[in-house]
Amino acid sequence: MHDGLGTTRSWKGLEVQPDMGLSYVAARRHQGGDFDRSVWVAAAGIRLPELWHHMFFSFQLGAAAPRTKALSSTQQFVSSLGWSRHGFAILIRHVSNGGTRKPNLGETMLLVGVDMKTP
């Protein structure tokens, strides 16, 4: 996962950041289905960086390739809820087509990240 965050701006009383990301979902064998292809998801949207006590939310529109049972269309919605502080982040992310095409299983993941930027 790579997330690129832009400059924080104020919009209608909310702090927002442009947000873009590139994710890789590895192929795997799973009970109840075979997810035999790895998928790349590129997405861009907005992030609300300071909801409450270092919690953030982001929503992005994305594109996935190739398609799988879980990510069954090219267009995807990517939503994340997480906590970030002192260069460390933990978040839950869901990628789904929002029911625009069946099946709509989606992928949900727990992610952990460390910001390697130097001050």
Over residues 9-32, the pLDDT tens digits come to: 777 777 888 999 999 998 887 766
The per-residue pLDDT for range 60-98, each reduced to its tens digit, is 999 999 988 888 899 999 999 999 998 899 999 999 998
Flag whether 45 is in a domain.
Answer: yes
Overall domain count for the chain: 1
Flag whether 72 is in a domain.
Answer: yes
Flag whether 119 is in a domain.
Answer: no
Residues spanned by the domain of 76: 2-114
Flag whether 37 is in a domain.
Answer: yes
Close Cβ partners of 99 (under 8 Å, ≥ 6 residues apart): none
